[in-house]
Structure 1
Amino acid sequence: MAIDRLEIDMGTLLDNIDERQVEFSGEADGDEYEFAVQYDVLEALSGDAPDGDAIDMFNRFSDTIVDAALSALARNADAQPIVVSESDLE
């Protein structure tokens, strides 16, 4: 059975500028996972590259990012962190 719900722990959002990703923890099906959303995903969603506003972009598109994170989780639940890339966008 596929996991269809992910709860983001908003207190864990971290803009990792060096790695060009926003990192966060989330709970799905009672288990905790670590995720990293690549800046490319934020750029694909917004049309602009993050420039000091990656967390704001993340928040604006959080519903779509949750869906993409669930796709990434289904693809590779054992990764640490689970990387959410453009290919996870529907």
Structure 2
Amino acid sequence: MKVLNTVLGLLPLSLGTNTDEVERAVTVDAPATLWWMAIPNAIVFGVTFATLVTAAGTPCALMLSTRLQEWRATRMGARLDLR
């Protein structure tokens, strides 16, 4: 939930939109946003990538570890049976 909040909160700045509360205007690619567009882009894509890698990579790594242990156990069992 925090990731979604971070991404959605930084998305307007990442897209280059600027809100002026005094004049009640929304501008796109204003000079003020051009200075700040690199930081939110890095944060948005970094947080999104890290979340996807964590959500998919961790279960895959755990499954790979379990399968490797099972493979080693069966291979060692086969070796012990031959002797």
Instruction: Give TM-score scaled by structure 1 length.
Output: 0.27
Which is richer in helix?
Answer: 2
Which is richer in strand?
Answer: 1
Instruction: Give TM-score scaled by structure 2 length.
Output: 0.28
